[in-house]
Structure 1
C-alpha cells in the first residue's frame, strides 16, 4: 500500500513538473462561454477581427466566400464588412501588413491565427484580450502573456464600452476564432442531433423487431 501511494505521489509530481516545463498560463483563464451557433456573435466577431486584428494577423486557411457562406452573408456583404472592397471574394484572408513590417516594428512577425483557438483554446484568447495593463513605465503588458509584443489593439473600445459590452466584444472575437479553427464544426453541431435522433429511432425499431421475432417463442 505504501509503495502504491508513493508511486501515485511520484506520478503527480512528475505531471506537475511537465506542465511547468511546458510553460503554464500565468493567470487563471476566464471562461469565454462563446457559442458557435450564435450567428450574430460570429458576424460581430468577424467584423471586429477585420477592424482590429487583420492589421497584423491573417487567417490564411480561410477564404472570404467560405466565411460568407457559413456566417449568413452574401459575397458582397463579406467584402464590404471585412475587406472594404479591397479583395476578391475567392481570396484568402490575409493581413493588411506589408511583408517584414511586423519584424521591423514589433520585433517579431505576427503569427497567422487560423489555428490559434485550437492551439490555445477560446478561454485563453478571451482572457488574453482582457488582460492588458499599463506597467510602471506606461507601456502595455499582459497578465496572460508577460512581455508580449502585441499592443492593446482594443484599448479604444475598452475605454468607450461598459464592462459587459467589452466582455461581449472579446467573446465575439474568440467565437469567430474558434469558428476559423474548425469551420466544419458548425455543420457537425447541426448534424450531431440528427444522427442521435436517427440512432434512437433505429434502436426503437430494432427493439420492436426483436419483440416481434420472439413473440411466439416460449422460453
Structure 2
C-alpha cells in the first residue's frame, strides 16, 4: 500500500547515522539528533518573522564589512555521524568558508542563532547546545518568542557560558562580530496581518 504524499517511508532503526539521513528526500522535515531522526514541523509565521529580522540585520552587517557568509534554514550542518542539524541562522567567518560543501556544512559555524518553538525548544536548549559547544561554536544566540528574550552564550572550553540576556526591551551585542547588535523589542515587534476581511491580528 502506498503512503500518503506527506509521509516518508523511513526504515526502523535503533540508531541512525548521516548515511541514513542523506537518503531522505530533499526538504524532508527532519534533523539527526543523538542518532534519532527528529521531525521538525514547519515553523509558525511569527517564528519566520523573527528569523527574517535577525537574519536581515546579521546579513547586512556581515556583507557590509565582508566578514564571511550568513546562511539560514533549511541547511544541513554536520557535526558527527549521529548529529546533523538545521540551525535557523548561521554565520561562518571568511577564513573558514572551506567548511561549506555542496551538500552540507561540515563543522561548527562561528555563530548559531536558534529561535525557540514548542517542537524543537528542548533540543535547542539541551542536546543541540551541547554539541554546538563541544565542536567549537563561538557564539550561540537563543531567541524566545514566548518571553520576547534573546540570550547570547559564548563558547568556553567546550561549553557555553551565558553572557547576556535581555527580555522585552534593551539590546544584545555580538562578542565575535564587532559592532553587531540588535534591539530586542524590534526583533519581537508584532506585525499586524489580515486574518479575515475587516479584522487584524498579530501572529504569535
Point out which structure has higher relative CO (alpha carbons under 8 A, 6+ apart). Answer: 1
Greater strand content = 2
Larger radius of gyration: 1
TM-score (norm 1): 0.25
Per the normalisation by structure 2, the TM-score is 0.26
* Higher helix fraction (1 or 2): 1
